[in-house]
Amino acid sequence: MRQPLVAGNWKMNGSLASVRDLLAGLKAGIGDVKVAEVAVCPPAVFIPEVQAQLDGTPIAWGGQDLSVHESGAYTGEIAGSMLTDFGCKYVIIGHSERRTYHGETDELVAEKFTAARKSGLVPLFCIGETQEERESGVTEEVVARQIDAVIKHCGVDMLGEGVIAYEPVWAIGTGLTASPEQAQDVHAFIRQRVSESSADVADKLRILYGGSMKPGNAAELLAKPDIDGGLIGGAALKAEDFLGICTAAN
Ligand code: PEP
């Protein structure tokens, strides 16, 4: 059985005051979440506050990115060991916003996967096609290429130590959500692709859906056999909405 995971990606949002409010709301409601594992990924500067507030609660936390380097002259970068120093369990890698605005390639994302594992972090490895790619009928080709880059660089066993987040780029922050059937089709394809390297890894691998998931559509998506949770952007910024998604997995 794969335990569902619901992870919040706060992106570049919030202030110390709003983060404190959000954490208070999450702590107050987390008792209603019976099934899913829950995690939040705040902007890096808020991680110490998140650690102080969430330590000892069932909610885990993580970074939104990490450097491929362990330390040194890399201004602005954050090493995996720095994230683990502050109690992070997870780190998002390969988010489409990093691929689009920061030119991250499949190969760099694969290097980040290794860097995360070297530091003991669990990568939340994001993949997904753009609208243009979907309309051209190459969705499977694109996600296969993104997965294969990690398998080639890290090996399938290391891939199995992470979590995949399938996030169709056209559904991120747009209010457009893949239908449960559309999402299930791609999730099944992803699992099939991984099973070509290892059936055991494929069977255990958690594959999250991300892209405008909300309390109102979460239950239907999470009911699909190959959807093992969600990576949540906008709806992770309100405790009530985020917890609504987490309890949809109950
Ligand atoms: C995301 O950025 O990972 C995401 C899924 O965003 P949203 O839920 O806002 O579409």
Ligand 1 center to 233 CA (angstroms)? 3
pLDDT in tens, 145-173: 999 999 999 999 999 999 999 999 999 99
Question: Is the Cβ atom of 217 under 6 angstroms away from ligand 1?
Answer: no
- What parts of the chain have a pLDDT lower than 50? none
Q: How far apart are CA 156 and CA 10, in angstroms?
A: 29
Question: Is the Cβ atom of 212 under 6 angstroms away from ligand 1?
Answer: yes
Instruction: Give the pLDDT of residue 1.
Output: 87
Look at residue 138 and give its three-state secondary structure. Answer: coil
Question: Is the Cβ atom of 229 under 6 angstroms away from ligand 1?
Answer: no
pLDDT in tens, 190-206: 999 999 999 999 999 99
CATH number of 5-238: 3.20.20.70
Other Cβ atoms less than 10 A from the Cβ of 173: the count is 13
DSSP conformational letter for 152: H
Q: How far apart are CA 208 and CA 23, in angstroms?
A: 23
Question: Is the Cβ atom of 210 under 6 angstroms away from ligand 1?
Answer: yes
Residues recognised as catalytic: 95, 167
- The atom number, within ligand 1, closest to the CA of 11 reads 2
CA angle 128, 227, 58 (to 5 degrees): 105
C-alpha Rg value of the chain to the nearest Å: 17
Q: How far apart are CA 177 and CA 213, in angstroms?
A: 7
Residue 59 token pair:
């909610």
- Smallest CA separation from ligand 1 atom 8, residue: 233
Mutate to test the pocket of ligand 1, among 172, 174, 208 (most ligand atoms within 8 A of CB): 172
Instruction: Give the pLDDT of residue 15.
Output: 98
Question: Is the Cβ atom of 127 under 6 angstroms away from ligand 1?
Answer: no
Residue 156 token pair:
């399938």
- The atom number, within ligand 1, closest to the CA of 92 reads 3
Q: Is 100 left (phi over 0), alpha (psi -120 to 50) or beta?
A: alpha
ipTM over 0.95: yes
Closest to 171 in 3D by CA, of 162, 187, 182: 182
Ligand 1 center to 211 CA (angstroms)? 5
Residue 49 token pair:
């506050």
Burial class of residue 83 (count of CB atoms within 10 Å of its CB; 0-12, 13-18, 19+): buried
Ligand 1 center to 124 CA (angstroms)? 13
CB of 169 closer than 8 Å to CB of 130: yes
Q: What is the pTM of this model?
A: 0.97
Q: How far apart are CA 44 and CA 26, in angstroms?
A: 19
